Amino acid sequence: MLKVEQNELNVETTAIWEKKKHGHVLRTGFTEKIPFGCPPEFGGETNLPTPEDLFLASIATCTLTSLLRICESLHTTPKSLNVTTSAVLKFKKEKNDFAFSTIKCKINISGDEFLLERACQLIPKYCIIGKSIIPKIEYENDIISED
């Protein structure tokens, strides 16, 4: 549950193991469970979102909701909007671990081209998740004019 206290926004989620290599995430104060599993490459099931999927989904949803908030402040509403994120995980021999080396975020949006171009330029400044991670996100905008 989000709680605003003295200029802070506190967020809490819990990951719960169920069996084998999967479980669910539950946001405090909500009853809807979000399933997740270990990637198939590490012995998990193929039909469950992985932590990597959920991480990219958090970037996509934060970008989308931030963009809608920016559009609202510019007094425009997109006719259509979708955000696709992709990433490359590379094995780091020196650390014997994987790390994201590239994260791309593609925004497909239609509406008032002038205002949407301005809104898309502001995403790196306002997307909380995007500002909080390394590596930096490469944004690509595909704006379709409503004319």
* pLDDT tens per residue, range 86-103: 999 888 777 778 888 889
For residues 62 and 112, state if they share a domain: yes
The answer to whether residue 1 scores a pLDDT higher than 50 is no
- Say whether pLDDT at 108 is over 50: yes
The domain total for the chain is: 2
Residues 84 and 31 in one domain: no
**Distant-in-sequence, close-in-space partners of 75: CB < 8 Å, separation ≥ 6:** 115
Q: Report which secondary-structure segment, H or E, holds 103.
A: strand 97-111
Domain that holds residue 20: 3-42
**Interhelix angle 51-73/113-126, nearest 10 degrees:** 130
